[in-house]
Chain A
Amino acid sequence: LAKTTQPISMDSYEGQEVNITCSHNNIATNDYITWYQQFPSQGPRFIIQGYKTKVTNEVASLFIPADRKSSTLSLPRVSLSDTAVYYCLVGEGTSGTYKYIFGTGTRLKVLA
């Protein structure tokens, strides 16, 4: 199975918009795309989830193209506390071979 890939790291300044892309070529037809935030030594924390087009909640937006082979997490006006590792999560495979695959993770560093 192809890996679910993300950029290894990104730097940004406070107040800027940050876009993190995940490539997931083998996403299952009927599964959602979910993004998580993880701080050191803590469990991943749910940010946003979508199936197609655009989803927005109070903390982020998620853009998914029609082919669903990638997705982009958008964090508006980041702050220092947004420094963390961000993961996408997708389901891959079909019945009997189904797996839940985390992306490789993007380490976001927000600078003052």
Chain B
Amino acid sequence: DSGVTQTPKHLITATGQRVTLRCSPRSGDLSVYWYQQSLDQGLQFLIQYYNGEERAKGNILERFSAQQFPDLHSELNLSSLELGDSALYFCASRKNPGTRDGYTFGSGTRLTVV
């Protein structure tokens, strides 16, 4: 157990639908990162939050949004889902973006859009 908790582990939904993925960071970690991993794209950085505020943005689609709450958990919202959104979505956390500690990843949410 890495200390980063992601729910649900698996999600199957239809095209056009909306889903929410949840991440609880490791205790004491203020920064949360979201990544998407699909077969043909590798690990793609989506977005980072630090202590509730957006810090960096990667290749996140406009149909996707995220937020980090006061208790530091984060949610990734995916809407108007398409078949190509099927992927593993990972959350990672670390204490502070500027520190020497590496990221700790959760076990991911596998999203299947049918």
Chain A interface size range = 20 to 34
| Chain B interfacial residues counted at CB < 8 A | 27
Contact indicator per residue, chain B 33-62, by CB within 8 Å of chain A (1) or not (0): 101000000111100100000011110000
A43 near B102 with CB under 8 A, answer no
Q: Which residue of B lies closest to A4 (CB)?
A: B42
Give residues 26-83 of A contacting B (CB, 8 Å).
30, 32, 34, 36, 41-46, 49
B48 near A104 with CB under 8 A, answer no
- B14 to A: closest C-beta gap in Å: 23
- B2 to A: closest C-beta gap in Å: 7
Contacts of A34 in B (CB 8 A): 102-103
Q: Report which of A44, A45, A98 forms a contact with B43, defined as CB distance below 8 A.
A: A44
Give residues 55-72 of B contacting A (CB, 8 Å).
55-58
B42 near A43 with CB under 8 A, answer no
Contacts of A87 in B (CB 8 A): 42-43
Contacts of B101 in A (CB 8 A): 49
> B107 near A: Cβ within 8 Å?
yes
Tell me the complex Cα distance, A24–B43, Å.
Answer: 15
Q: Which residues of B contact A (CB under 8 A)?
A: 2, 4, 33, 35, 42-45, 48, 55-58, 88, 90, 92, 98, 100-108, 110
Additional A-B contacts beyond A43-B4, A102-B35 (12; CB < 8 A): A36-B105, A41-B108, A43-B92, A43-B107, A44-B103, A45-B2, A98-B55, A100-B33, A100-B56, A102-B42, A102-B45, A105-B43
Contact sample, A vs B, 10 pairs, CB 8 Å cutoff: A30-B98, A43-B90, A43-B107, A43-B108, A44-B90, A45-B2, A46-B103, A99-B56, A100-B33, A101-B45
